[in-house]
Structure 1
Amino acid sequence: MSKLSISQAAKLKGVSTQTLRRWEAEGKLIPERTAGGHRRYDLAQLMGTKSELSFTVGYARVSSHDQKEDLLRQVEVIELFCASNGWQVEIIQDIGSGLNYSKKGLKRLINLITDHRVERLVLTHKDRLLRFGSELIFSLCEIFGTEVVIINRTEDSFFEEDLAEDVLEIITVFSARLYGSRSHKNKQLLQELKNVARQL
């Protein structure tokens, strides 16, 4: 087969159809058109076309250093999933709360997306990006032509553990002020809150 439809060409290149349309708009890869206006891609030209800027990115995150084994599992799942689909992947890893929008890896991911350098974002679970606010990142992906692939769309099995870590972080943010008052009641309240969070 020397002429491919847009869906066949996208599968061969390991990119989304939206990416092929963007390459056409940018003059990188111009398909032929049938009498009905459908795109047809020349196989030889397609195989010779390679995006020098765009690539598949996997993002893995855990809330604390105690969860490093889970981080490694996420990375392994993403790598195996991408390999099974014939995608070369670069994985960005973060250790930090799902409530923290300033994580180094997340910032790099956003910069890559907004620079049109991410063809596809692969996650094990939706909330690996952020505890609340993942939809904001997904909206960016839609705007900048990045396909989002979520391997496991069921509820995150680590939700309770991560939520406890997030609650502890919130408590820690305010602890310095309360401890500064030298109030025994405040110290006791903080300790009780931390104990409850760990039991979530």
Structure 2
Amino acid sequence: MNRKLVGIREAAEFLGVNPSTLRRWEQEGRLMPDERTAGGYRRYDLARLRPNQFRQQDGERKTVAYARVSSHDQKADLERQKQGLELYCAQQGWTFEVITDRGSGMNYHKKGLTKLLNDILADRVSRLVITHKDRLVRFGAELVFAICEAKHVEVVILNQGEDTPFEEDLAQDVLEIITVFSARLYGSRSRKNQKLLEGVKHAVEEASS
């Protein structure tokens, strides 16, 4: 019987994992290459690989609950999010980890979000639980969901309606955008633009106070 032997990248794609995961499985003795070339490259027989079998055996995939607020002043809201997420996950009988962030929904470099995305890409997450879609990022949450779908991560959103602190968070996000543009216009010849941004910033601060 002829076997179709493929390299580690094709085998990883077939199983829906990263090549690094196959290397780890080899170190753990869970999935060994069928052959190695003279140059030491791994070769796998597609006929014996079963994606669901290996995905279910991967005990390192976990449930992650993610909570975020825009500023340190919203500590109480962050605690409410955490409690809601912990209660829901516990009721489902899931073993879970909670990741929290303090920062604008326009900031894509927050420590917690970076850790979450790295864990998803490294096949360490099986389920993501959030209170609202906007808790991830203000714009572009669909991209994160697409990554989750590609990595076979279930996304659970507890509340599909409008987020409670929406206006306050949006004001923080708008202020961040204004701050960025103000920095870019600093020292430029357009004093009119600077004055306009200062006026908008003042209006947003007034509305959110």
Q: Answer whether TM exceeds 0.5 for this pair.
A: yes
Q: CA deviation at 1:52?
A: 2.9
Among 112, 129, 134, the alignment partner of 2:136 is: 129
What is the distance in 1 between the residues matched to 2:105 and 2:183?
22
What is the distance in 1 between the residues matched to 2:68 and 2:184?
29
Is residue 171 of structure 1 aligned with residue 175 of structure 2? no
What is the distance in 2 between the residues matched to 1:27 and 1:126?
26
Q: After the TM superposition, which residues 80-91 of structure 1 pair with which residues of structure 2 at under 5 Å, given as runs?
A: 80-91=87-98
Q: After the TM superposition, which residues 111-122 of structure 1 pair with which residues of structure 2 at under 5 Å, given as runs?
A: 111-122=118-129
What is the distance in 1 between the residues matched to 2:190 and 2:151?
51
Q: CA deviation at 1:182?
A: 8.9
Residue aligning to 1:42: none
Is residue 196 of structure 1 aligned with residue 203 of structure 2? yes
What is the distance in 1 between the residues matched to 2:110 and 2:67?
12
Please state whether the residue corresponding to 2:94 is helix, strand or coil.
coil
Please state whether the residue corresponding to 1:154 is helix, strand or coil.
coil
What is the distance in 1 between the residues matched to 2:201 and 2:89?
39
Q: CA deviation at 1:173?
A: 0.9
Distance change >3 Å, CA 61–CA 182, structure 1 → 2: same
Please say if residues 96 and 103 of structure 1, whose CA atoms lie closer than 8 Å, have aligned partners that are also in contact: yes
Distance change >3 Å, CA 57–CA 179, structure 1 → 2: same
Distance change >3 Å, CA 177–CA 112, structure 1 → 2: closer
* 5+ residue gaps, structure 2: 1-49
Is residue 145 of structure 1 aligned with residue 145 of structure 2? no
Q: Deviations over 1:76-101 (max 9, x none)?
A: 11001101111121011111111121
What is the distance in 2 between the residues matched to 1:188 and 1:67?
30
Q: Deviations over 1:120-153 (max 9, x none)?
A: 1000111100111111111111111111001111
Among 89, 109, 117, the alignment partner of 1:102 is: 109
Please say if residues 179 and 186 of structure 1, whose CA atoms lie closer than 8 Å, have aligned partners that are also in contact: no
What is the distance in 2 between the residues matched to 1:197 and 1:140?
34
* 5+ residue gaps, structure 1: 1-20, 30-50
* Identical-pair percentage: 59
Residue aligning to 1:15: none
Q: Which amino acid aligns with 2:135?
A: R
Is residue 57 of structure 1 aligned with residue 64 of structure 2? yes
Among 163, 176, 185, the alignment partner of 1:156 is: 163
Q: Deviations over 1:29-73 (max 9, x none)?
A: 5xxxxxxxxxxxxxxxxxxxxx43111000111111111211111
What is the distance in 2 between the residues matched to 1:169 and 1:150?
26
Q: How many residues align?
A: 159
**Taking structure 1 as the reference length, what is the TM-score of the superposition?**
0.71
Q: Which amino acid aligns with 1:167?
A: V
Query: How well do the aligned residues superpose, as a CA RMSD in angstroms?
Result: 2.4
